[in-house]
Structure 1
């Protein structure tokens, strides 16, 4: 509703600020994707397939005006961000909040070995109750990436931000935006090189626009 000045001239309401769009990109495939829990161990790079996926992300972003790029410091995330940085001319900002979960003593273990442990059932069905040995808990991981997203949202209000991260943090971020309990976040699947999109509008709950998208162009998410 319009207000009025002292001389009763109507004052139009302030225009609504456009939504802030955050795109969450999982890094591309690596030589150990699906077989090993790499965690934060250094030295893991993209495979040939992963580099193709990184190029594809950059291609899909064509036509969408991107305001900022953020990435986990891990090599595989940085390498996934590189083609988008080259196409947009934007620098990639390292964001610790986008890091992979700290798997502690499980880092580097074969997933087939971990799946045989009784604790694996807790990881899959009651993750809110689990902390990795000498590592991070799932609630801590979720709070960390949600905090990073909120900082990016506030720093680029009304813009488009692309965040390059890892499967479990992205799943936890999507679950938070959906209002899904953390104990159900394993039901969300995030493929290598996929994009998930969350829109933030002042005074409203976040809107999840897409999850685990690997095909179509992304320009339609924000009409120019």
Structure 2
């Protein structure tokens, strides 16, 4: 079954360089609103097949999927359910929440977050290892609910940068300490197919239109696949940015 992972559009916290965390009232900025409006068009090939839109309860995720939910309501099969799931909410950054990233970069914990994120526990908040456990457990449970039993029913999950990176690291078989190598930009699309043998990562950090193979092969192709998925990723930065 295939899950389309969407990071929320650019938020006002992204623009101001603040680690919003779970702070209330953080919505999309003007560019983020534009990104949200473009999302249905980028998903044209899968709109008729989407079985559910699952999202974090935070405002920026609700605003990101709102145009998609409207578009789905107009399709022949009716709207896919919009499901709010606390298990895919943003990291609880505790005392780091709502602080400028430039100030956090001088904290001793910053180096741990960059180099050994599996050991990072935010003061007054949660650890990234805990985030990985709750997010990966949730995505597998949700996939059983919404993925269908034929392997061809996509569903969508809208969440946050570090949460999605943890899900992707797990799907790639990477240790969490390596998850800072993954780039997940605002409004980007990544796709994981949870097959019977193993997860297959079909695209990461796609910032264009999405094209999916109808039925990903259950067994890996010797020598490589023939190339049916659209893959697009950005170069990212030398040092990973946490959170928003």
- TM-score bin, normalised by smaller chain: 0.7 to 0.9
- Counterparts of residues 123-162 of structure 1 (less than 5 Å): 123-156=113-146, 157=148, 158=151, 159-162=153-156
Q: 2:192 aligns with which of 198, 201, 212?
A: 198
2-side partners of 1:114 and 1:221: how far apart?
A: 42
Matched, 1:23 2:4: yes
Q: CA RMSD in A?
A: 1.2
Contact 2:51/2:81 (CA < 8 Å) preserved in 1? no
Q: What is the Cα deviation at residue 55 of structure 1?
A: 1.6
Match of 1:208 among 171, 195, 201: 201
Whether the 8 Å contact between 1:152 and 1:161 is mirrored in structure 2 is: no
Residue 222 of structure 1 corresponds to which residue in structure 2?
214
Instruction: State the 1:151 CA deviation.
Output: 1.4
Higher-Rg member (1/2): 1
**Alignment deviations for residues 122-163 of structure 1 (CA, whole Å, 9 cap, x no partner):** 011011111100101011101111111111110023321100
User: How far off its partner does 1:38 sit?
Assistant: 0.3
Measured in 1, the distance between the counterparts of 2:14 and 2:23 equals 14
Report how far residue 117 of structure 1 moved.
1.3
Find 1:54's aligned residue among 18, 36, 48: 36
Quote the residue 1:83 is aligned against. Answer: 67
Shift, 1:196, TM fit? 0.4
- TM-score, with length taken from structure 2: 0.80
1:173 aligns with 2:167: yes
Deviation at 1:220, TM superposition (A): 3.2
Aligned equivalents of 1:219, 1:87: Cα separation in 2: 18
The C-alpha deviation readout for 1:26-73, integer Å capped at 9, x for no partner, is 000012216111000110010110011112221111121111110000
- Cα distance in 2 between the residues matched to 1:145 and 1:54: 23
Normalising by structure 1, report the TM-score: 0.87
Give, in whole Å, the separation in 2 of the partners of 1:45 and 1:138. 24
Per the alignment, in what secondary structure is the counterpart of residue 198 of structure 1? strand
Q: For residue 177 of structure 1, report the CA deviation from its aligned partner.
A: 0.3
Once structures 1 and 2 are overlaid, which stretch shifts more, 37-46 or 58-67? 58-67
Contact 2:36 2:65 in 1 (8 A): yes
Unmatched 5+ stretches in structure 2: 74-79, 216-244
